[in-house]
Amino acid sequence: MPITQRQIALEAKVSRSTVAAVLSNTQRERFSKEVQERVLATARKHGYRPNRYAQVMNHGKSGYIGILGFGTHNSLSYRKLGFATELFRRLEYDWIVHEAGWYAADEDDVCDLLVQKMIDARVEGVLLIYPPRRFTQGHLERLRKARIPVVGVANEHLADLPSFVSDRSWGYHFLTRHLLSLGHRRLALLYSNPACLEAFSQALGETPEMAVKARDFLTPEMQMLPVEQLTYLPGWLGMRHLLEQPERPDAVVCANDAWALGALKACEEAGLRVPRDIALTGFDNDPAGAFGTVPLTTIDHPVKETAQQAAEFLLNIIRNQPQPCEQRFVIRGTPIIRRSCGASDG
């Protein structure tokens, strides 16, 4: 038979109200570390699990965080989900995950359905991971009207939403400048995000004599499909398109590592050796990029930092702790230089 809070109180030699407060997450700081640990150790020893519905009835709090994922079967998104739940678990919150891709493509409005599921579950807050444009301001307002705070991970379009994002602009700018520093003079770009084009163009503009030479290789209509639908194909198609141009590029900046792997395959099919004949860079440091026939130069995406800082920010809102006024937190990644750019034999 499951242990009750009253039994925990007797064994830990504290009051029943103390046990309830310590196990509620939001009130435990009222007690000393020694009391907290005694109560939590007793609860762990007996495998205590709170009754979520009783929590809602008694305190209006469920102890659950909602996570709405869009493409979490993608490596980058999935890793962010894992780091967020790691923090929730450490702080003894539970979570409910709904992934848009788990639902039928012909659902009238998957986002409407997901929002309603979060409201029905009485979650205390919602973490949005890679919300697409079909998740609108209206969906966000429905959650807020239900008094559910929301924080975004990699949100690029929702206004007035605390969001934690990778500094992709800095990363693409760095990679472009890095290729120029290695002596590459005919740069091309395969991208899906306007920020990538802007950073690429800015880096070229800092070397004016390069801008004209590179302009013919920009491909703004290049298969701008969600990565979760077509992972490698846009890079493969894009590189084939570039290789058909009258003047072949000598270096290509790719939107991400998956596209770079697709581009690498197109180069191999065309009989080109990377990096001797053409250099490549990716982005995000997908584990697959380090183990290909040619390891990819990339930017290590700050996966853990963006996910856990967003999760912690959400929990602080739930706990009514003071928050900074800013709404967008941009976190810079780390360059990983490998053989595909021509700078290293590693």
pLDDT of residue 212: 46
Whether 295 and 339 have beta carbons less than 8 Å apart is answered as yes
In this structure, the answer to whether residues 181 and 98 fall within a common structural domain is no
The percent of the chain in helix, strand and coil, each rounded to the nearest 5, is 45, 15, 40
What is the Cα–Cα distance from 60 to 83, expressed in whole angstroms?
A: 27
pLDDT of residue 164: 94
In this structure, the answer to whether residues 156 and 234 fall within a common structural domain is no
Let me know if residue 290 belongs to a domain: yes
Quote the tokens at residue 148: 């559910």
- Give every CB contact of residue 251 below 8 A, 6+ residues apart in sequence: 179, 182, 184, 186, 187, 188, 278, 279, 280, 281, 341, 342
Gyration radius from the chain CA atoms: 24
In this structure, the answer to whether residues 182 and 155 fall within a common structural domain is no
Q: Domain count for the chain, please give it.
A: 3
Let me know if residue 262 belongs to a domain: yes
Instruction: Name which of 216, 215, 218 is nearest 190 in CA terms.
Output: 218
Domain stop point among 101, 134, 161:
161
- Give every CB contact of residue 283 below 8 A, 6+ residues apart in sequence: 168, 171, 172, 175, 254, 255, 256, 257, 260, 298, 299, 301
What is the Cα–Cα distance from 217 to 211, expressed in whole angstroms?
A: 11
In this structure, the answer to whether residues 177 and 279 fall within a common structural domain is yes
Tens-level pLDDT at each residue, the chain (346 residues): 667 778 888 888 888 878 777 776 656 677 888 888 888 888 888 777 665 545 544 555 668 899 998 876 677 888 898 899 999 888 878 889 988 878 765 555 888 889 998 998 889 999 999 998 889 999 999 999 999 999 999 888 898 899 999 999 999 999 999 999 999 988 988 887 778 888 888 888 887 666 545 544 555 455 455 444 467 888 888 899 889 888 889 999 998 998 899 999 999 999 999 999 999 999 999 888 998 889 999 999 999 999 999 999 999 998 887 777 678 999 999 999 999 999 864 4
Find the domain containing 124 and state its range: 64-161
pLDDT of residue 321: 78
In this structure, the answer to whether residues 218 and 289 fall within a common structural domain is yes
In this structure, the answer to whether residues 176 and 197 fall within a common structural domain is yes
Domain stop point among 95, 128, 161:
161
Let me know if residue 327 belongs to a domain: no
The pTM is what? 0.76
Domain stop point among 128, 161, 194:
161
In this structure, the answer to whether residues 154 and 33 fall within a common structural domain is no
Residue 218 DSSP one-character state: B
pLDDT of residue 192: 74
CATH of the domain at 243: 3.40.50.2300
pLDDT of residue 101: 79
Let me know if residue 310 belongs to a domain: no
How many residues would you count in the chain? 346
- Distance in Å from the first CA to the final CA of the chain: 58
In this structure, the answer to whether residues 218 and 268 fall within a common structural domain is yes
pLDDT of residue 50: 61
The whole-angstrom distance between residue 81's C-alpha and the CA centroid of its chain comes to: 8
What is the Cα–Cα distance from 95 to 89, expressed in whole angstroms?
A: 9
3-class DSSP assignment, residue 271: coil
